[in-house]
Amino acid sequence: MTPAKSAGKTLAGRTDFSIIGEIIQPRSKVLDLGCGEGELLAWLVENKSVIARGVEIEAARVQKAIARGLSAYQGDINEGLTDYPNDAFDYVILSQTLQETKDPRRVLSEMMRIGRRAIISFPNFGHWKVRLSMLLSGQAPKTRLFPYDWYDSPNIHFLTVSDFEAFAVKQGFRIERRYFVAGAEKVSLMPNLLAEVAVYLVRK
Amino acid sequence: MIVETQCSRFDSISLESGATLAPVEVAYQTYGKLDSEKSNAILILHAFTGDAHAAGIDHETGKPGWWDNMIGPGKAFDTDKYFVLCSNVLGGCQGTTGPSSINPATGLPYAMAFPVITIRDMVKLQRKFVASLGIERLLAVAGGSMGGMQALEWAVSYPEMVRASIPIATTTRHSAQQIAFNEVGRQAIMADPDWCDGNYYDKKPPGRGLGIARMVGHITYMSDESMREKFGRRLREKEKLGFDFNVDFEVESYLRYRGSQFVNRFDANSYLYITKAEDYFDLTNGSGSLAEAFERGETRFLVISFSSDWLYPPYQSQEIVRVLRRLNRDVAYSDLQSNYGHDAFLVDVVEQTDLIRGFLASTYRAVYA
């Protein structure tokens, strides 16, 4: 694999991975929350020589991540972060999981405590297709990024680009960089309407 | 892979109790080849009643080793790549010095004159043995149950000698429940009139007591579910209940068989000494915290527990993981789904193989990076 040069390239089929790969400095210490089978961490180890750690709740995925040689552990990010000391990591990553957490505010403040920087990506609920889907059908929206029925969706906290921006101001987080993408394309205008996925680099 | 047990002799070892044991012998087996940098050695640590014969086919007995499904060419502990060692523990009865060994002071077996030993003493002797092979740093130490205790003790006592530790289905300290089961086993042995205060070596060994101890042990190694699957309420070679105290149920027959077999291969006094060592095991050494115990070194860890293990329940493994995380140490952890109870670490090899192979490979890569 070659390092992602632009947002257009994808890593394990996910555009936000390639952006995250771009942000992270070589040889830094990284914690990936909800690391899945460790696709992103494995890429970062290979290409950025990072010191990688992962947390994942699903047993089969943790096993795959460990089988890859990654230091992942089976645990719940809603509870498990309190054990880490302050500033334990250069980056703490939460990739498309924020909308699934029980207490996003707590998860984010823990991320800021244990990491010098946090990288947060999430599907934008403000995207025009989501709005249109809801407007036209009058039902909980279903789109490419929100493919679930309301009753089996893992997403329990929907948020938009504007929501996150306002939230960051309120919590006193400093947004260092922001990236918006739709499909494999970068979005620069009207991200709250046009971005499917947002990626933020945040520090305290 | 035909294997043979070898023996090393050391002048003496000073023990945690203050006593000294001299001389002391270590029985061991090796598999694979030590590389020229001497950096591919992995020490396998056996559980309570295990021995040095971890893998391959023993040239004398023709039997496979106790972890043969995990150690060998292409297996989790790949002997094409790694140099794998296993030694019998101090206090054991399979070649390493223990209560059945001859006490040079009397010319008779030590019996109860053998000093009380600890997990730390076992590891101290293993260190002597490893050093005697010219190995300064092990790639990994690994073991389940009491072997896991040793894997943890290695990382605490000699962190500079251990790149990676794989404690499986184990704990940082024996709990009241674990001590309680061990005490039942010890009392069964000591209540057997054949025990004779430990001096039975020229007589009939305390087979009934040791057999009962083993029966209790076997119950704790299984799970409610695995026992139900394996035996249910099935009757043993009969159609209806006997209304007597002969064997009715399959499970009774199994336990009796296991108990009687055990007597042929294990020494009752070793049972007493080794269970005592387990019960004394507490990584914090009674004072200080676990965090202090793990403070030194850069050993990385792969911790594995099994969902149905009620003897060494997953919460005990999670405690290890939590402490290491607090110290921001390198730790991987997986709680494997299994119905086999504590025995799972010997039986459920597929997932364990994936985990261990990946973990060892990345540890090995880092050595040569």
Complex-level ipTM: 0.91
What is the rounded distance in angstroms from the CA atom of residue B44 to the CA atom of residue B138? 11
Q: Is the pLDDT of residue B286 over 80?
A: no
Q: Token pair for residue B239?
A: 């159609």
Asked whether residue A131 is assigned to any structural domain, the reply reads no
Ordered DSSP codes for B22-87: -SEEEEEEEES---TTS--EEEEE--TT--S--SSEETTT-PBPTTTTTEETTSSEETTT-EEEEE
Q: Could you tell me the CATH number of the domain that includes residue B263?
A: 1.10.1740.110
- Co-location of B227 and B256 in the same domain: yes
Domain encompassing residue A69: 15-126+160-203
pLDDT value, residue B239: 93
- Co-location of B264 and B322 in the same domain: no
Report the mean per-residue pLDDT for chain B: 96
pLDDT band at A39 (very low <50, low <70, confident <90, very high): very high
| Count of domains forming chain A | 1
**Is B342 known to be catalytic?**
yes
Q: Is the pLDDT of residue A2 over 80?
A: no
pLDDT band at A92 (very low <50, low <70, confident <90, very high): very high
What is the rounded distance in angstroms from the CA atom of residue B198 to the CA atom of residue B177? 26
- Co-location of B322 and B228 in the same domain: no
- Co-location of B137 and B48 in the same domain: yes
- Co-location of B133 and B15 in the same domain: yes
Q: Is the pLDDT of residue A78 over 90?
A: no
What is the rounded distance in angstroms from the CA atom of residue A169 to the CA atom of residue B234? 68
Contact A84 B328 (CB under 8 A): yes
Domain encompassing residue B294: 2-174+282-368
Q: What percent of chain B has pLDDT over 90?
A: 96
- Co-location of B201 and B324 in the same domain: no
Q: Is the pLDDT of residue A186 over 60?
A: yes
Q: pLDDT: is A9 or B244 the higher one?
A: B244
Asked whether residue A48 is assigned to any structural domain, the reply reads yes
Mean pLDDT over B164-189 rounds to: 98
Q: Is the pLDDT of residue B62 over 90?
A: yes
B107: left (phi over 0), alpha (psi -120 to 50) or beta: left
- Co-location of B52 and B34 in the same domain: yes
- Co-location of B250 and B120 in the same domain: no
pLDDT value, residue A10: 62
Tens digits of residue pLDDT in B28-41: 999 999 999 999 99
For residues B198, B202, B205, B206, the Cα torsion angle rounded to the nearest 10 degrees is -40
Taking one residue from A and the other from B, the number of pairs with CB-CB distance under 8 angstroms is 64
- Co-location of B149 and B289 in the same domain: yes
| Domain boundary pick from B229, B258, B277 | B277
- Co-location of B160 and B307 in the same domain: yes
Asked whether residue A136 is assigned to any structural domain, the reply reads no
User: Looking at B145, B165, B308, B317, which residue is catalytic?
Assistant: B145
Q: How many residues does chain B have?
A: 369
Alpha helices, DSSP H, located in chain B: 119-132, 146-157, 176-191, 207-221, 224-230, 250-265, 268-280, 290-293, 314-326, 344-347, 349-368
Q: Is the pLDDT of residue A62 over 70?
A: yes
Mean pLDDT over B234-240 rounds to: 94
For residues B152, A90, A42, A63, the Cα torsion angle rounded to the nearest 10 degrees is 40
Q: Is the pLDDT of residue A77 over 90?
A: no
What is the rounded distance in angstroms from the CA atom of residue A54 to the CA atom of residue B171? 23
Q: Token pair for residue B357?
A: 């192979």
Tell which residue, B172, B184, B174, B183, has the closest CA to residue B279. Answer: B174
Q: Is the pLDDT of residue A3 over 80?
A: no
Alpha helices, DSSP H, located in chain A: 15-23, 39-48, 59-67, 104-114, 128-137, 161-171, 191-194
pLDDT value, residue B159: 97
| Count of domains forming chain B | 2
Mean pLDDT over A136-155 rounds to: 91
Q: What percent of chain B has pLDDT over 70?
A: 99
User: Looking at B309, B317, B343, B348, which residue is catalytic?
Assistant: B309
pLDDT value, residue B288: 82
Cβ proximity of B208 and B193 under 8 Å? no
Interface mutation vs chain A, best among B301, B333, B350, B352, most A CBs within 10 Å: B333
Q: Could you tell me the CATH number of the domain that includes residue B103?
A: 3.40.50.1820
Chain A residues close to B302, C-beta within 8 Å:
66
| Domain boundary pick from B277, B295, B325 | B277
Chain B residues close to A74, C-beta within 8 Å:
333-335
| Domain boundary pick from B262, B277, B292 | B277
Contact A69 B325 (CB under 8 A): no
Asked whether residue A65 is assigned to any structural domain, the reply reads yes
Mean pLDDT over B188-208 rounds to: 97
pLDDT value, residue A6: 39
Mean pLDDT over B175-193 rounds to: 98
Tell which residue, B38, B45, B52, has the closest CA to residue B155. Answer: B45
Cβ proximity of B277 and B331 under 8 Å? no
pLDDT band at B287 (very low <50, low <70, confident <90, very high): low
- Co-location of B255 and B286 in the same domain: no
- Co-location of B166 and B303 in the same domain: yes
Q: Could you tell me the CATH number of the domain that includes residue A118?
A: 3.40.50.150
Tens digits of residue pLDDT in B238-275: 999 999 999 999 999 999 999 999 999 999 999 999 99
pLDDT band at A18 (very low <50, low <70, confident <90, very high): confident
Tens digits of residue pLDDT in A151-172: 999 999 999 999 999 999 999 9
Whether the CB of A59 is below 8 Å from some CB of chain B: the reply is yes
Q: Is the pLDDT of residue A148 over 60?
A: yes
Asked whether residue A146 is assigned to any structural domain, the reply reads no
